[in-house]
Amino acid sequence: MKIIVEEKDLDVNVVKAYTEMLQKEMKETNTQIGLLNIEAAFYAVQHEKKLADFKKEGKNILKDDFKGHDIEIELFLIEELWSKFSYPKVIIPIHHYYSQHYTLLVIDNEKKQFVHMNSMLPPKKEWTKDNQYYNNANWVVKHIRRFIHDVKVTGTIFPDDSQDQENTREKCKGEDSKGELVTEVEEMTPREKEVRRWILDNQIGENDYELVEDLNCPQQKSCSDDCGPFMIHFMESIVHGVQPSKKKGNDMRKTILERFAKEESAWSVEKYLAETADAVGEPKNRK
């Protein structure tokens, strides 16, 4: 609470707590939008940055070096996409951990685009695709494309394939005591079957959606630490079907405090933050 009031960088746990409140609201109102947790993009960015660093330094790239990332990407991104991808919009918050910046990635299935929303853009004439935050969003998109590809493959029947692709799939169950990925073939949920059919019936290809930067999204005050509140404002605007505004972005710290105080779960915010600090509040920083 002190961080919010003093207008400092929002802790990732504040973002996660607010995301949980939005998810609860969406469930109660049956809002047909997907909202992923902040870990979904975090591990994808961390994985790709490490891979880029290895290549830059000329290091040998071994599968075991990325084992932890692979498991977490499966758990927090791919598994979530299986139940959410076909909604008109899917919202993925991004924490750019090495620069303490927040942006938003949106899968827009109506416009067939990936849209990146950044409240700290350079002047329009100076923006290029080399922008570091756009590149990070593109790293997340890379893994979403892989998900689409893998779903498309299930529409192909191979002679030696004994798995019932229409009703079952391989699901990530986490890691074993040796840090190895654990998967099991299980019955798909009705929602997962719906997502699969939507991708196959609409012939969605992994390269059909282009990543575009929203150069018109509201911008935070220069030299402020308001990227977190603005990202939350972007999330909430999409959930409520309204256009984001600079004024509401600037007022978002107040809105966050008011909502924490108003929500029935407000009593548990401190308890929630403490419980998730080790588990998922601050995503594990895989070396």
CA distance 118 to 217: 7
CATH number of 1-276: 3.40.395
Q: What is the pLDDT of residue 159?
A: 54
Low-confidence ranges of the chain (pLDDT < 50): 266-267, 272, 276-281, 287
Q: What angle do CA 51, 52, 53 make, to 5 degrees?
A: 90
Q: Where are the alpha helices (DSSP H) in 31-167?
A: 39-57, 67-73, 79-84, 132-153
Q: What is the pLDDT of residue 267?
A: 44
Cβ atoms 41, 22 nearer than 8 A: no
* Strand 181-187 versus strand 168-175 pairing type: antiparallel
Q: Give the residue extent of every domain in the chain.
A: 1-276
Q: What is the pLDDT of residue 55?
A: 87
Q: Maximum CA pair distance of the chain?
A: 63
Q: What is the pLDDT of residue 259?
A: 87
Q: What is the pLDDT of residue 205?
A: 94
Q: What is the pLDDT of residue 279?
A: 44
CA distance 73 to 41: 8
Q: What is the pLDDT of residue 95?
A: 96
Pair of tokens at residue 151 = 């779903």
Q: What is the pTM of this model?
A: 0.87
Q: What is the pLDDT of residue 287?
A: 47
CA distance 38 to 19: 8
User: For residue 114, which of 249, 259, 248, 214 has the smallest C-alpha distance?
Assistant: 214
Phi/psi-derived region of residue 284, left when phi > 0, alpha when psi is between -120 and 50, beta in every other case? beta
How many CA atoms lie within 13 Å of 213's alpha carbon, on the beta-carbon side? Answer: 22
